[in-house]
Amino acid sequence: MAKGKKYSDASRRYDRDHLHAPNEALDLVKSLASASFDESIDIVIRLGVDPRKADQIVRGTVPLPAGTGKDVRVAVFATGDAATAAKEAGADIVGGEELVEEVSGGMLDFDLAISTPELMPKVGGLGRVLGPRGLMPNPKTGTVTPDVAKAVGEFKGGTVEYRTDRYGNVAVSIGKASFEPEALQQNLGALIDELNRVKPASAKGRYIKKATVSATMSPSVKIDPTQFDS
- pLDDT tens sequence across 100-133: 999 999 999 999 999 999 999 999 999 999 999 9
DSSP structural state of residue 125: G
Give burial (CB, 10 Å; 0-12/13-18/19+) of 71.
exposed
Q: What sign for the dihedral angle of Cα 174, 208, 3, 26? A: positive
List Cβ neighbours of 163 (8 Å cut-off, separation of 6 or more): 57, 58, 59, 60, 134, 141, 170
Band the pLDDT of 20: cuts 50, 70, 90. Answer: very high
Name the 3-class secondary structure at 195.
helix
Please answer whether residues 86 and 78 qualify as being in contact, where contact means their C-beta atoms are separated by less than 8 angstroms: yes
Domains, the chain, with CATH or none: 16-68+159-228 (3.30.190.20), 74-156 (3.40.50.790)
List Cβ neighbours of 49 (8 Å cut-off, separation of 6 or more): 56, 57, 58, 164, 168, 200, 203, 207
Position 5 pLDDT exceeds 80: no
Q: What sign for the dihedral angle of Cα 65, 40, 145, 141? A: negative
Position 31 pLDDT exceeds 50: yes
pTM above 0.85, yes or no: no
CA distance 16 to 220: 8
Please answer whether residues 186 and 211 qualify as being in contact, where contact means their C-beta atoms are separated by less than 8 angstroms: no
The pLDDT, as a whole number, for residue 8 is 73
CA distance 11 to 18: 12
Please answer whether residues 108 and 129 qualify as being in contact, where contact means their C-beta atoms are separated by less than 8 angstroms: yes
Query: pLDDT tens, 67-107?
Result: 999 899 999 999 999 999 999 999 999 999 999 999 999 99
List Cβ neighbours of 125 (8 Å cut-off, separation of 6 or more): 100, 104
Please answer whether residues 7 and 147 qualify as being in contact, where contact means their C-beta atoms are separated by less than 8 angstroms: no
How much of the chain exceeds pLDDT 90, in percent? 87
Q: Mind giving me the DSSP string for 158-191?
A: TEEEEE--TTSEEEEEEEETTS-HHHHHHHHHHH
Please answer whether residues 100 and 122 qualify as being in contact, where contact means their C-beta atoms are separated by less than 8 angstroms: yes
Count other Cβ atoms within 10 Å, centred on residue 200.
18
